[in-house]
Amino acid sequence: MAWTLIRIDFTETCECIFGEKKHYITCGKGYVVVNNEGIEAFCGPQCAKNSKYVTNPNEKVPDFTKGCLVIDVKEQTQSTFNPHSDDKSPSQINNQKSDYIKAISYLLLRVEKLKHYPQMRYKKLSDIYGKYLSGQLDNIDINFLLMLGESSIYPEFSYQNLQAIYACDFWINQFLKQNANKDTSFVKEIKSYLVANLALTPSQIKGLNRWFDNTEGKKIVNIKPNAFAIDPTTYWKNKFKK
C-alpha cells in the first residue's frame, strides 16, 4: 500500500502507522499520510523521511502546526524537517514552491479547518477552494491568498492569526473531549470568546496552558503567549472607532 505525505497537523498521542516496532507520536503533532483509498493516518517525523514508507519523503507539505506551540528542545529535534533535504534545487523553484505551500496552507486553514467560524466565510475564497479541488489554481489565486495571509489591514485574518486560532481551537476541543465529565466552563467560555473575537488575550492563554498542564497530570501542549496577530482587548474597539 502506497502512502503519501499530505500535511503536518496536530494530534493527540497516537501510534505511528509505520515501522517494524510499535512507536508513538507524543509531541502533539505528526505527519498526515493518505493512501490510494483516501484513508488518512499519522506517522512520526523519522518515518516521514523514509522512502520505504512514503512515496514523497521530505517533500514540503502544508504545516498547520507552525509557530504556536512552545515545544521542548528534545521534541523539536525529533520533529523538524531536514533543512538540507532540498538544497540541490535552484532557490527560485524553492521560493515558488514555498509560496505555493504557504498559499494552500492559508486556504485550507481558513476554508476547511476553521469552517465552523462564521467570520471566516468569504465567497471569493470558496470559489478559489473549488478551483483548488479541481486542480485549476493559477498564479492570480496564489498571489491573492498570499496577500490575505500577510494583510496588515485585516490582521485578524492573517496567516499567523489563523494558525493561532487553529492551534487553540484544536487543543481546547481535545481538552473538552478528555474532560467531558468535569466542570470545564472556564475553557468553554474561552472557546466562545475565541469564536467571537478571533483571538485570545495573553492572560487567557496563560489560563488555558494551566488547564492543559493539569489535565490528569498529563500535559497537553503549551501555547505561545504571543501566538495571535491581534490583541482582542484593544483591536476591536479601535477598529470600530474609525
**26-85 positions binding Zn ion, by CB under 5 A:** 44, 47
Query: Binding residue for Zn ion (CB under 5 A) from 4, 6, 19, 86?
Result: 19
CB nearer Zn ion, residue 44 or residue 232:
44
Q: How far is the CB of 29 from Zn ion (least distance, A)?
A: 13
Q: How far is the CB of 56 from Zn ion (least distance, A)?
A: 16
Answer positive or negative: Cα dihedral of 130, 62, 169, 231: negative
**179-238 positions binding Zn ion, by CB under 5 A:** none
* Dihedral angle, C-alpha 20, 24, 30, 36, nearest 10 °: 40
Answer positive or negative: Cα dihedral of 80, 85, 86, 91: positive
Q: How far is the CB of 73 from Zn ion (least distance, A)?
A: 20
16 binds Zn ion (CB under 5 A): yes
CB nearer Zn ion, residue 33 or residue 142:
33
CB nearer Zn ion, residue 16 or residue 167:
16
CB nearer Zn ion, residue 15 or residue 99:
15
How far from 38 is each of 12, 41, 58, CA to CA, in Å?
A: 21, 10, 21
CA–CA gap between residue 195 and residue 163 (Å, rounded): 14
Q: CA nearest 204: which of 225, 227, 229? A: 225
Q: How far is the CB of 25 from Zn ion (least distance, A)?
A: 8
CB nearer Zn ion, residue 18 or residue 159:
18
How far from 103 is each of 5, 58, 132, 157, 199, CA to CA, in Å?
A: 18, 19, 11, 13, 21
| Residue 28 φ/ψ region, left for φ over 0, alpha for ψ in the -120 to 50 degree band, beta for the rest | left
Cβ neighbors of 188 (< 8 A, separation 6 or more) are 176
Q: How far is the CB of 30 from Zn ion (least distance, A)?
A: 9
Cβ contact 94:86 at 8 Å: yes
CB nearer Zn ion, residue 53 or residue 106:
53
Binding range to Zn ion, per CB under 5 A, among 10-18, 96-104, 115-123, 168-176: 10-18
Q: How far is the CB of 47 from Zn ion (least distance, A)?
A: 3
Number of residues that bind Zn ion (CB under 5 A): 5
Q: Which residues of the shown chain bind Zn ion in the complex (CB under 5 A)? A: 16, 18-19, 44, 47
